[in-house]
Structure 1
């Protein structure tokens, strides 16, 4: 999990209260709770634009009738290749544009700065035709050369946290060189060798080493956003026109619908309408985010005092949430639940949208520290449906696979059918009789109990409650489970060293395909003694681990975006899920269900399964506030 070395495929974050938020920058999450949003980078180090301060009492915003007023949590950077948190990504989504985009966070990807693209017959060469006349905020026209530069930064800059996206996930053809690191020789990207070329000003060509089935989807990620060529000098061949610090905190220049105005650490961030935007010009004059970290303060500011126009689940803590106040009037074709919430403590009835987003939350077990019978007993004890209802107040969906329902092979119906018919530990039920049986067969009993520690991060309120629910059940199965809290960065550091026995984390999509999730269950990537682990399971040596490894190989051997390859990948996805069921290194808990609450004066397109942080706000309209 060394994201700073571009090896980890995860973005760790402190997830939000209520339904866990999906992210503009994806990967592993802390989970669904009432903590602040994503203030921790993958390396576990908190970084901000300036000196770290605490600002919990927000000032009342000016009542500018045509400025969208929102809440955000602590941001880390506005450099698209460095940002690893939802808070930063939410703003980056407004300021920067990429080749592709998920319109309104729906998962059908479409062109953004690309007006079209072609794929070669062997699926290895992608040629993108750019919109002509699209401008950066500094007035420069966006050209293919800007993308060559921006993609080189993604691959080669020391500021990049997502180099593996282009070099490994998409697999753009490139050369490597041998360097010594920590006394070991290792292969790294050779700067300037990547097969991304500008055919002319409006034609960009990208060549892959092997086919990859989700190229357009990956290119919608904000790390692939366009920057003006040469604006920064953090890669070979460019001196740069400003310092990285200035660009990342004071003057980010993109081609998005909004241009940057100001950012005061832990206080506020502002952007304004970009009049020369190449797409649909913004209906609002700007956006003002009040930056806060305490969920109760967010709730008071946005819901009680009505100072925010739109409120997301993480800004409406579960402790204040009343499921009985949700009135769902219809469910649309994308599965979004649409209705009202209220009345709130301020007497308002708010418009409500809820949607299952593409994310999974789980209890991870270190196989070297917690024996298989104990892990299986925990699976028998956990009633996922009860946990969602009792702990999360229904703000989630029961989870039996790591792959979320909407991208499971065959879709949600196939997900449910497979789980109901095959999940070996009881579908939405607790089976303590079987839990005791598997423990007795392993030699445990009243006088020989097994003890282990379940670690959650200290700002979480919901995961400890789920832990207590599980702990009390396991007590009758000869297991003493203690619950430990730790700072989020500490949890991650302990995990990387293999010093966790059990822990709570989650994963949110980088791109909407099962392999983006199931890579965490590829046994070699669970080895915490390695430099490029993706999870902390230390899963190896068992028959199930061998099956998972074979299934992953089948996935890797069928990467093409064809129906035949998709079918083979689908078979392998299911095989990996079942291998995990056998050994229970990852115990599924729940899937995301994200919510948005808006006042009557807000007209905002509904967001989709990629979640709110991938949504642009140029089509939001503000009426007369009450």
Structure 2
């Protein structure tokens, strides 16, 4: 029977922002992260997108001339297929739209360029009905052919950083050559007509729609970039990466690497037209300079650096059922009382090690010395939650309770510094005062630098010398991609909110930085623990991708094995799960963001009062 004969219609519930079929969701986050209680099996709705912070409401006039001023940690590229950082995605989500989105950073997917979909009874064929009347920033009209082209770029372009997500994780049917490489043009993504797209998977996948909501699946005008066979392209990839064209609520205006990115309101947007005239993200690496910019009211919304943060100034007036706190902060240094929003995010922050450079005993010694609770209290002023696992608590198998129960088995101690154990494991490996080990730890924030200094001072007494290298995040990201970092601080926020999205970073074959198709950066392999992690992934995660209870149980068993294998070899040291805090002035009003983080939030529903 043809796939189209066995399709069952599943409509997106646009009024509630949910999906017609209940989808198992959870979450995680990137550069900072604690846990949120909206993990597990998601309901079919998400909170109303009209909920706002306690800021004074803006005038809502779409002819506003006000520009929204925000901070960025540094943008590497504006092309969605090589973009792999949250700072890239924050700009990109406002320039580009995809079939599906996480509305306001909520982990419940919502239709965007799709209006509804049908899925075959065997769970392998998705047929999407597409929105009419959508125009790109270059005046081209959106059709199914644009999706085919955009996903072909994701699969076939040499510039793609996440072809793995499309071809392997999602498992879109395709052909490979004798060396296992994708055969261009063979992917089962077909435009049935201008407004109908059909996608065929090799087997059912439990998070198919969630993966399609990832930023790399953004839709571009057909043929705009000529970096794949069959398309000459209006631009080279290099030109497009700094002058992008999408169909999002804002269109590109300017980009200066290391300085700023600006976008302007797209009056032809198919959704809610932006209230603000534009958005400018300024790159300000120094925390003191960031705070000065905020206190001089050159920023509308911002984080307060921990060095300037005082928890006694927080007054919480409301906590919703997702753990999000709304209130005020003040008085700030400039005498103003700021509006305050705290959101527990699904994310994990950690210290990663290049295992080809830093031997196992040294990595274990760092873990013995690390006191996650001390870091949280002394460095982060208790703004985060100490971590023992890479999987965030709310999406850990069994939820927060099972996370905490299994954390009792963590072998290194989360609230103490074990110098004796660190010294013993190093002496057994032959290290001593006359045979010390030195490595470089790269960091990108003042807080991470403080953590690094604590570790450095403690490790000195156990035969290990740490050189701390502070760098901009965009520079560190390039070093990681090229395999040039020895040890590094980093965070991960979900691309799709289930444990496999996190634990793919601990799947040894995908940590090889020489492969050009890696997700992690640890070069982990050749040990018993790495073999167990690989087998757990191959035999229970990759072999059980479907949505059934039995498949989920098999994956859950594998997730625990992978976490424990990481404990043994200590390739990624869990440090904390973050709650994101956002401070703003009364002139700004915006919807509360969800546990996916503010960087996933389109800014078209942000409003600024004319009086500033």
TM-score normalised per structure 2: 0.81
Match of 2:536 in 1: 551
**Aligned partners of 1:390, 1:370: CA distance in 2, in Å?**
27
1:176-215 matched pairs, under 5 angstroms:
176-177=176-177, 186-215=179-208
* Equivalent position to 2:214, from 217, 221, 229: 221
1:174-573 matched pairs, under 5 angstroms:
174-177=174-177, 186-242=179-235, 244=237, 246-250=239-243, 252-263=244-255, 268-301=260-293, 303-311=294-302, 313=303, 316-367=304-355, 370=358, 372-419=360-407, 421-436=408-423, 438=425, 442=428, 450-457=436-443, 459-476=444-461, 478-485=462-469, 502-527=487-512, 532-553=517-538, 554-573=540-559
Whether contact under 8 Å (1:135, 1:255) holds in the other structure is yes
Compared CA separation, residues 211 and 294, structure 1 to 2 (3 A): same
**Residue 115 of structure 2 aligns to a residue in which SS?**
strand
**Aligned partners of 2:357, 2:259: CA distance in 1, in Å?**
43
**Aligned partners of 1:81, 1:499: CA distance in 2, in Å?**
22
Whether contact under 8 Å (1:449, 1:480) holds in the other structure is no
**Aligned partners of 2:357, 2:75: CA distance in 1, in Å?**
36
Offset at residue 218 of structure 1 (A) = 1.5
The structure showing larger relative contact order (alpha-carbon pairs under 8 Å, at least 6 residues apart) is 2
**Aligned partners of 1:248, 1:530: CA distance in 2, in Å?**
23
Compared CA separation, residues 161 and 567, structure 1 to 2 (3 A): same
Whether contact under 8 Å (2:387, 2:574) holds in the other structure is yes
**Aligned partners of 1:481, 1:90: CA distance in 2, in Å?**
37
**Aligned partners of 1:574, 1:148: CA distance in 2, in Å?**
37
Offset at residue 112 of structure 1 (A) = 0.8
Gaps of 5+ in 1: 1-25, 33-62, 179-185
Compared CA separation, residues 382 and 231, structure 1 to 2 (3 A): closer
**Aligned partners of 1:604, 1:300: CA distance in 2, in Å?**
23
Compared CA separation, residues 270 and 363, structure 1 to 2 (3 A): closer
Match of 1:108 in 2: 108
Match of 1:144 in 2: 144
Compared CA separation, residues 170 and 327, structure 1 to 2 (3 A): same
Offset at residue 505 of structure 1 (A) = 3.1
Task: Decide which moves more: 65-74 or 497-506.
Answer: 497-506
Match of 1:576 in 2: 562
**Aligned partners of 1:261, 1:499: CA distance in 2, in Å?**
33
Match of 1:45 in 2: none
Whether contact under 8 Å (1:467, 1:483) holds in the other structure is no
Whether contact under 8 Å (1:30, 1:504) holds in the other structure is no
Task: Decide which moves more: 289-298 or 354-363.
Answer: 289-298
**Residue 181 of structure 2 aligns to a residue in which SS?**
strand
Whether contact under 8 Å (1:455, 1:491) holds in the other structure is no
User: How large is the Cα RMSD of the aligned pairs?
Assistant: 3.2
Whether contact under 8 Å (2:354, 2:487) holds in the other structure is yes
**Aligned partners of 1:87, 1:193: CA distance in 2, in Å?**
32
**Aligned partners of 1:347, 1:581: CA distance in 2, in Å?**
47
**Aligned partners of 2:484, 2:196: CA distance in 1, in Å?**
50
Offset at residue 431 of structure 1 (A) = 3.6
Cα deviation, 1:515-561, whole Å, max 9, x if unaligned, reads: 12212222334456766554454544544333222211211111012
Offset at residue 357 of structure 1 (A) = 2.2
Offset at residue 493 of structure 1 (A) = 7.9
Offset at residue 217 of structure 1 (A) = 1.2
Whether contact under 8 Å (2:346, 2:392) holds in the other structure is yes
Offset at residue 267 of structure 1 (A) = 5.4
Whether contact under 8 Å (1:274, 1:282) holds in the other structure is yes
Offset at residue 450 of structure 1 (A) = 4.8
Offset at residue 134 of structure 1 (A) = 2.5
Q: Is the aligned partner of 1:600 residue 2:586?
A: yes
TM-score normalised per structure 1: 0.80
Compared CA separation, residues 540 and 294, structure 1 to 2 (3 A): closer
**Aligned partners of 2:452, 2:144: CA distance in 1, in Å?**
51
**Aligned partners of 2:480, 2:133: CA distance in 1, in Å?**
48
Offset at residue 196 of structure 1 (A) = 0.4
Offset at residue 604 of structure 1 (A) = 0.5
**Aligned partners of 2:318, 2:560: CA distance in 1, in Å?**
32
**Aligned partners of 1:498, 1:623: CA distance in 2, in Å?**
47
Whether contact under 8 Å (2:338, 2:585) holds in the other structure is yes
**Aligned partners of 1:129, 1:577: CA distance in 2, in Å?**
40
Compared CA separation, residues 211 and 263, structure 1 to 2 (3 A): same
**Aligned partners of 1:78, 1:95: CA distance in 2, in Å?**
9
Whether contact under 8 Å (2:529, 2:568) holds in the other structure is yes
